[in-house]
């Protein structure tokens, strides 16, 4: 073996920068930096941080420098640092007696990314140093780590040790240009799960003390505690949970701020399609992207949420990100840039869709009230600007998205938040009625569970049933 000292520099500053690397021989065998392992755990909650195994490839995070044993030969080198830097893909030759390898990674010039702030709205189980190392390497400005209650394998005893890291509205740890905040994930198996960001204090319990009862707090109680000093509440939707009726009620009643998207697939049971159902039902909710990372099988920031940076502000980046996300002045992405804006309202609504950093496999689409319009483009160009006029009385919402059809299984690579028509159609069409009926199933299932509970919980049950009734009435009336 030849011990190589590898250093990756920002080509502009010639200083080492955190990156994600992969070095493999021509047969695809990966080589790991010293101090890391060739074989590492990928199960949830197990030694998370510093490396990722994805699609039979192993990646490692370094702070700009590492040592690695490489026999002389030819290798594939892959170095990435988020969207603001060009990726490095090249073959390298290690010669006998070689001691060092220097690699430059270049910033993108005249790029739109500099006007936006990137954040991951939810991850778990990372240490502070690992979170900012991975975050910086993936091009994140902010990482929101949510303390949650995990059951230890083998004994089933809850592990809540991460709650000791709680930082709330303060930065827990900052390095490499990336800031970490620690807040909480609050879960009830029947009522729903929420992420509480920028909270003034921890909101307990993290998990309902019993799956048989609503517990001390309802979801709306949790939301109101998190909102007391400008916290941000996200609905961490579980596509396999047929209940979650109170979380849905909280979203409709504006107790929840944002709907979380962590699954970018377009499968029938995906959070993406459920978001479209919410919009079609008249629930005007914005979305936020989150990786939900809890293992070494998930990239931090996959997807990440990009929030527009105010042109004039004294607010720190994390507060600007928070408020832009709350307003929906954001998009979520795993690579491409996409922006949808209104150019003019009268007499028709003129919208502009801008996309760049596109690959040849990417398709550009508009989603109008759930219906898809695909646009032809020159696949040799990585950028696109599209202007289009819409009749404001003919639709309720419109989004832009980038779709990839790799392996004949489409998934979303980038998605804007919706623009809403100012002229809301009071007549309930068949599609809106069907969307409302789908949402009502969650209400019905949750109500049935609540009514089956022991009468000693009657006061709490009646309160939550009241929330559901209020939300259903608002959903149907559209007010």
- pLDDT for 181 equals 98
Residue 93 sits in the same domain as residue 119: no
Residue 66 sits in the same domain as residue 150: no
Q: Tell me if 423 sits within 8 A of 392, measured CB to CB.
A: yes
Assess whether pLDDT exceeds 90 at residue 162: no
- pLDDT for 158 equals 77
Residue 456 domain-assigned (yes or no): no
β-pairing verdict for 142-147 and 116-123: parallel
pLDDT in tens, 195-243: 999 999 999 989 876 555 556 578 999 999 999 999 999 999 999 999 9
Residue 229 sits in the same domain as residue 300: yes
From 420, 437, 452, give the residue that closes a domain. 420
Assess whether pLDDT exceeds 70 at residue 407: no
Assess whether pLDDT exceeds 70 at residue 54: yes
- pLDDT for 424 equals 59
Q: Tell me if 196 sits within 8 A of 236, measured CB to CB.
A: no
Residue 416 sits in the same domain as residue 322: yes
3-state SS, 386-441, equals: EEEEECCCCCCEEEEEEEECHHHCCEEEEEECCEECCCCCCCCCHHHHHHHHHHHH
- pLDDT for 470 equals 98
Using CB atoms within 10 Å of the CB of residue 114, give its burial: 0 to 12 exposed, 13 to 18 middle, 19+ buried: exposed
Q: Tell me if 65 sits within 8 A of 7, measured CB to CB.
A: yes
Residue in 289, 290, 298 with CA at minimum distance from that of residue 48: 298
pLDDT in tens, 423-470: 655 566 889 999 999 999 999 999 999 998 876 668 888 999 999 999
Find the helix or strand (DSSP H, E) in which 451 lies: helix 430-451
DSSP 256-314: S-EEEE---B--TT-HHHHHHHHHHTT---EEEE---B-STTS-TTSSEEEEEPPSS--
> What φ, ψ does residue 385 adopt, rounded to 5°?
-130, 125
Q: Which domain holds residue 322?
A: 112-420
Residue in 31, 107, 110 with CA at minimum distance from that of residue 72: 31
pLDDT in tens, 302-315: 999 999 998 887 88
Q: How confident is the model at residue 275 (pLDDT cuts 50, 70, 90)?
A: very high
At 132 the three-state DSSP class reads helix
At 4 the three-state DSSP class reads strand
Using CB atoms within 10 Å of the CB of residue 86, give its burial: 0 to 12 exposed, 13 to 18 middle, 19+ buried: middle
- pLDDT for 208 equals 77
Residue 429 domain-assigned (yes or no): no
Residue 133 domain-assigned (yes or no): yes
Residue 300 sits in the same domain as residue 415: yes
Residue 448 domain-assigned (yes or no): no
In this structure, what is the dihedral angle of CA atoms 81, 133, 186, 470, given to the nearest 10 degrees? -30
Residue 271 sits in the same domain as residue 290: yes
Q: What percent of the chain has pLDDT over 70?
A: 95
Q: Tell me if 274 sits within 8 A of 239, measured CB to CB.
A: yes
Residue 165 sits in the same domain as residue 285: yes
The CATH number of the domain holding residue 136 is: 3.20.20.140
Its pTM stands at 0.95
Residue in 199, 203, 258, 252 with CA at minimum distance from that of residue 227: 199
Taking residues 142-167, what's their average pLDDT?
Answer: 86
Residue 445 domain-assigned (yes or no): no
Residue 136 sits in the same domain as residue 40: no
Residue 469 domain-assigned (yes or no): no
Residue 83 sits in the same domain as residue 229: no
Assess whether pLDDT exceeds 80 at residue 100: yes
Find the helix or strand (DSSP H, E) in which 323 lies: helix 317-327
Residue in 140, 121, 124 with CA at minimum distance from that of residue 290: 121
From 57, 83, 105, give the residue that closes a domain. 105
Residue 99 sits in the same domain as residue 121: no
Residue 438 domain-assigned (yes or no): no
Residue 476 domain-assigned (yes or no): no
Distance in angstroms (rounded) separating the CA atoms of residues 474 and 443 = 13
The CATH number of the domain holding residue 25 is: 2.60.40.1120
Q: What percent of the chain has pLDDT over 90?
A: 82
Residue 86 sits in the same domain as residue 159: no
Residue 92 sits in the same domain as residue 128: no
From 420, 445, 472, give the residue that closes a domain. 420
DSSP letter for 336, please: -
Number of domains in the chain: 2
User: For 462-470, which contacts have Cβ atoms below 8 Å and span 24 or more sequence positions?
Assistant: 463/218, 464/191, 464/214, 464/218, 464/220, 464/246, 467/218, 467/220, 467/246, 467/249, 467/250, 467/253, 468/245, 468/246, 468/249, 468/443, 470/249, 470/253
Q: Tell me if 31 sits within 8 A of 3, measured CB to CB.
A: no
């Amino acid at each position: 073996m030849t011990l190589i000292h590898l250093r990756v520099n920002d080509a502009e500053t010639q200083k080492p920068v955190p990156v994600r690397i992969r070095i493999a021989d021509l047969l695809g065998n990966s080589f790991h930096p010293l101090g890391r392992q060739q074989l590492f755990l990928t199960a949830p909650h197990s030694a998370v941080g510093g490396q990722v195994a994805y699609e039979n490839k192993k990646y490692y995070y370094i702070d700009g420098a590492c040592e690695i044993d490489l026999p002389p030969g030819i290798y594939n080198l892959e170095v990435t640092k988020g969207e603001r830097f060009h990726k490095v893909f090249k073959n390298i030759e290690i010669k006998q007696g070689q001691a060092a390898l220097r690699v430059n990674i270049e910033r993108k010039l005249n790029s739109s990314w500099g006007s936006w702030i990137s954040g991951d709205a939810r991850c778990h189980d990372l240490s502070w140093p690992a979170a900012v190392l991975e975050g910086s390497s993936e091009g994140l400005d902010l990482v929101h780590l949510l303390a949650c209650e995990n059951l230890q394998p083998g004994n089933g005893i809850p592990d809540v040790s991460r709650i000791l890291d709680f930082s709330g509205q303060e930065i827990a740890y900052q390095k490499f240009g990336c800031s970490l905040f620690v807040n909480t994930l609050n879960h009830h198996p029947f009522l729903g799960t929420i992420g509480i960001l920028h909270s003034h204090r921890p909101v307990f319990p993290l998990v309902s003390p019993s799956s048989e009862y609503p517990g001390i707090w309802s979801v709306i109680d949790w939301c109101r505690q998190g909102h007391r000093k400008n916290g941000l509440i996200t609905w961490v939707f579980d596509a396999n949970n047929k209940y979650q009726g109170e979380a849905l009620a909280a979203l409709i009643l504006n107790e929840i701020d944002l709907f979380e998207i962590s699954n970018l697939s377009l499968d029938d049971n995906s959070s993406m399609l459920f978001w479209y159902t919410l919009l079609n039902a008249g629930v005007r909710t914005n979305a936020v992207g989150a990786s939900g990372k809890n293992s070494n099988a998930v990239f931090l920031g996959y997807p990440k949420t990009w929030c527009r940076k105010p042109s004039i502000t004294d607010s720190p980046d994390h507060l600007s990100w928070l408020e832009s996300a709350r307003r929906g002045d954001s998009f979520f992405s795993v690579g491409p840039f996409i922006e949808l804006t209104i150019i003019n309202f009268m007499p028709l609504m003129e919208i502009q869709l801008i996309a760049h950093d596109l690959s040849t496999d990417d398709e550009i689409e508009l989603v109008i009230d759930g219906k898809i319009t695909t646009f032809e483009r020159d696949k040799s160009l990585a950028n696109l600007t599209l202007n289009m006029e819409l009749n404001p009385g003919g639709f309720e919402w419109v989004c832009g998205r980038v779709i990839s059809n790799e392996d004949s299984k489409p998934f979303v690579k980038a998605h804007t938040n919706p623009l809403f028509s100012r002229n809301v159609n009071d007549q309930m069409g068949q599609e809106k009625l069907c969307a409302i009926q789908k949402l009502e199933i969650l209400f019905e299932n949750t109500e049935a569970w609540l009514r089956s509970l022991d009468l000693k919980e009657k006061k709490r049950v009646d309160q939550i049933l009241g929330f559901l009734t209020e939300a259903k009435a608002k959903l149907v009336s559209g007010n």
